[in-house]
Each structure stands twice: as C-alpha cells, then as structure tokens.
C-alpha cells in the first residue's frame, strides 16, 4: 500500500475560505497560510495536478516496485 500526503493545495474550498475572510481567491489573506507557505521550500501552495501526477505514476506500471511508503507532495517541507 502507498499513500500520498499533500500539503496545502489550491482547491475550491481554499478559495471559498479566502473569499469568506475578505480576500480574493488569488491572494493570501491569513497569517496561517503565509506561515505554511513560508515553511515550504518551493514557496507556493500545491496544485491539484501536483497530486494527480503522483497518483497517475503510482497507478502505472512504472511504480510496480513501490510499496509500503508515503509520497509527500509538500514542496519539500518534509525534507527538513
């Protein structure tokens, strides 16, 4: 079994929470989000495609020997 552990991703619910906090969907409005992004070496939130590409790889024959692990889709955060 393999699992994927994503970080903060740009999803409709994240956009909705930003709008409810008074910001637009494209700008950071909370200090918590800013702190999360500051802790990510790539300095950005994840995109749904980032996680989807990992899932496609794991579902393919290319990952036939990958088992018993978690793939962190977190922009390098877990590397530190």
Q: In whole angstroms, what is the distance from residue 36 CA to residue 56 CA?
A: 26
For residue 69, what pLDDT is reported? 97
Token output for 57: 């790889």
By 3-state DSSP, what share of the chain in percent is helix, strand and coil, each rounded to 5? 45, 15, 40
Handedness of CA 8, 11, 14, 15 (dihedral sign): positive
Domains in the chain, CATH or no CATH each:
2-79 (3.40.50.720)
Residues 22-63: tens digit of each pLDDT: 765 555 556 778 888 899 999 998 999 999 999 999 999 999
């Amino acid at each position: 079994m393999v699992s994927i552990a994503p970080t903060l991703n740009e999803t409709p619910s994240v956009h909705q929470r930003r709008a409810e906090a008074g910001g637009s969907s494209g700008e950071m409005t909370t200090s918590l989000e800013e702190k999360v992004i500051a802790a990510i070496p790539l300095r950005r939130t994840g995109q749904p495609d980032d996680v989807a590409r990992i899932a496609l790889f794991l579902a393919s024959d290319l990952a036939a020997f990958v088992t018993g692990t978690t793939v962190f889709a977190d922009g390098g955060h877990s590397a530190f």
